[in-house]
Chain A
Amino acid sequence: MADKRQKFSNFLIRGVFVYNPVLIQALGLCLVIAATTSLKVSLLLSGLISVTLIIAEVLTASFIKKLPNWVRVTVYMLIGLTVACPTMLFLESVNEELLTATGVYLPLISVNALVAVRCERYAAKHEIKESLFDGIASSIGFSVIMILTGIIREVIGNGTLWGKPIFQNAKMPGMLLPFGGLIVLGFMSAAVRSAIARIFPQNSKVIKNMDKPIIPEKPPETNTMSVSPVNIRKPIEGGKNNVTEVGVHNVNIIEKFVKNLKPQQDDGSEGSNVNPENTTENKKRRDRNRARKNRNKAVSGKPYTAPATVEKEAQNISDMLEEMDKEYNVTAGASSIEKEITPEEVRDIDASELDQKSVPNPDVDLSSIRIGSEGPKSSAEYMESFSRSEDREDKSGEESKPYNVDSQFEEIIKKYHLD
């Protein structure tokens, strides 16, 4: 409740004093300088303006702000007409003198700059409650100035107050003209500005953003008292831990408790906080995400750039394959031999007739080696055939462990998702 009161008082001070719509913002001058020739007219017009402003600000904050701004201006005028015209009809039947005294200025409350400017600057950007407060504060500020101006001008210009003569000897009819209103406004504005400079020095300059609070908010307390109180349940003495009491404790106590939970190292220093980012699960998650990104890059058509480690491994594999090719005299893309060569034929072949590189080992089971029109084999197929021939060699006696040639390749393939 205290916060709400302070907030409304903030609006009041802003609307009535610091950002007075007439003396500081120069809004609604037509009515103030031309129509405030008596206290009765001032009260009537200020009341109508206040009603129009409050209704317009509340409606603007609720739904009018959704319209385009060039349509909103027309709506404000129509709201003013709906307030002014019934009032004029009522005054025509009740008090026609008062209506005559207002002249053409009563319908002009519908096009008063105060309504349009406050609705556009404030109500269109804030909620209903705040707009209501702003409407009330601005209308009070406007009404105070209108009433004061009306009193001064009627007393000095006409020598009367509320139609009753006060002093008739010294009166200045010129005060009832617009220039009289401007003179009064000039001196009132000077008085208000000097008062603002003394009371609110931080607001002595005109601030464009009028939404800043006039009364500065209290800074957060920096003492050890709890900023955000925490409820901790206290156990009863000498009994079960049934909760019967709720207390509010200092947050610092809880902070100390949490600090004491940290593991301590052997050297006695306080253990470093476990960085949650370095857990194994997070590492695995990061690796998976990285691999997914790489796959997505490849799929998206962008040139795939393998990470450095994969490139290194690929280079190692290609180097190994080249060595193997050299060792077994097999080259991918070698010219094909049309017919199969039997072992007897191989013995009979003169080595000089064949290319030295392509002479096969006569002890090797050539049936496993396919030389023909099938084209180059993959490295894995070569290795598979080699492992089979190795196995056959060792069949004679010893039980040889199968040479697991491709296990290393399998690991690499699995690791970098090359399959």
Chain B
Amino acid sequence: MSWFLNFVSVALYAAFIQNLVFNGGYGASESIRMSLKYGRVIPFSLMIAGYSTFTAVVCRALDLYHGINALSFASHAAIFGGVLAFSFLIIAAFLRLVFHVKKKTLSTMGVAALNSMVFAIPLINHRSGAGFAESIGMGIGSGVAFVFAVLLIYVGIEKIQKIKNIPKAFNGIPAIFIYVALISMAFSGLSGSILFV
């Protein structure tokens, strides 16, 4: 029961309370770009959740070995990065050879697998000393956080486009940046961070 509660609490924390995109900046580029291609957000988020969960579990399992656990943070980063890269290569090669998946789909998978959010999950788990339940929760929570961020950004872009009083200089990317900044400020206040003295 505690295993399940740990898993749920970490997932909710990563998705809503301290949203990894708005509070940590992880995957901010991908979320803004994906909000412009809204139709692919669900499969993209599933890929992110899948890869981050798989990498988090494997890296947590490697951390059980004393020899690896005693290494420095730089060595851990190298090992975790290698696990992520080769797991993507193996999965992509399997899909290409067995199921003849299209190259375009594989390139989208590459973007989903090798981005800052997926690579940050095992590093955060290592630094925080998370267990298996927390690792899986963080992985799934990252996918939910990504979907949530893209939804909010997409709704904001639609509303911004309808506004006609925006100055020319702020039209487009600058308006999106400021809109995302305001949402991030809201999430930072929700998590209890000090914004102003």
| A→B interface (CB under 8 Å) | 23-24, 26-30, 33-35, 68-71, 73-74, 76-78, 81, 84-86, 88-89, 92, 99, 104, 106-108, 110-113, 116, 171-174, 177-183, 185-187, 189-191, 193-194, 197, 206
Contact = CB atoms under 8 A, between A and B. Distances in A.
B78 to A, nearest CB: 4
Contacts of B54: none
B74 A26 contact: no
A400 B197 CA distance: 135
Of B78, B107, B193, most buried by chain A (CB within 10 Å of CB) is B78
The 8 closest A-B pairs by CB, nearest first: A34-B25, A182-B181, A174-B195, A88-B74, A186-B177, A179-B184, A70-B106, A107-B77
A68 B185 CA distance: 41
Interface in B139-197: 167-178, 180-182, 184-185, 188, 193-197
Contact of A177 (B29, B77, B106, B195): B195
Of B82, B168, B174, most buried by chain A (CB within 10 Å of CB) is B174
Contact of A187 (B85, B115, B174): B174
Contacts of B30: 113
15 contacts: A26-B176, A29-B32, A30-B116, A69-B103, A73-B107, A73-B111, A73-B114, A81-B77, A85-B74, A92-B74, A104-B120, A177-B184, A183-B177, A189-B174, A193-B169
A182 B21 CA distance: 12
A117 to B, nearest CB: 9
Contacts of A34: 24-26, 28
Contact of A104 (B33, B114, B124, B176): B124
A112 B168 CA distance: 30
Contacts of A193: 169, 171-174
Interface of B: 22-30, 32-33, 72-75, 77-78, 80-82, 84-86, 88-89, 92, 96, 103, 106-107, 109-111, 114-116, 118-120, 123-124, 127, 167-178, 180-182, 184-185, 188, 193-197
A106 B173 CA distance: 26
A312 to B, nearest CB: 61
B114 A186 contact: no
Contact of A26 (B22, B32, B73): B32
Contacts of A112: 116
A174 B196 contact: yes
A305 B78 CA distance: 76
Contact of B25 (A30, A69, A106, A174): A30
A70 B109 contact: yes
B98 to A, nearest CB: 15
B107 A69 contact: yes
Nearest to A86: B74
Contacts of B181: 179-180, 182-183, 186
A319 B123 CA distance: 100
A83 to B, nearest CB: 11
A315 to B, nearest CB: 62
A26 B31 CA distance: 10
Given A173-B194, A183-B178, A190 B188 contact: no
B92 A89 contact: no
A173 B23 CA distance: 14
A186 B181 CA distance: 9
Contacts of A187: 174, 178
Contacts of B194: 173-174
Contact of B188 (A92, A171, A172, A179): A179
Nearest to A112: B116
A186 to B, nearest CB: 4
Contacts of A35: 25
Given A74-B85, A187-B174, A173 B196 contact: yes
Contacts of A182: 177-178, 180-181, 184
A70 B92 contact: yes
Nearest to B106: A70
A74 B196 contact: no
Contacts of A84: 77
Nearest to B173: A189
A111 B77 CA distance: 12
A177 B188 contact: yes
B22 to A, nearest CB: 7
A191 B178 contact: no
A70 B28 contact: no
A172 to B, nearest CB: 6
Contact of B195 (A69, A73, A81, A172): A172
Contacts of B178: 182-183, 186-187
A17 to B, nearest CB: 15
Contacts of A88: 72-74, 77
Contacts of B177: 182-183, 185-186, 189
Contacts of B78: 81, 85
Contacts of A81: 77-78, 81-82, 85
Contacts of B124: 104
Nearest to B171: A193
A172 B182 CA distance: 16
Contacts of A186: 170, 174-175, 177-178, 181
Contact of A30 (B28, B92, B171): B28
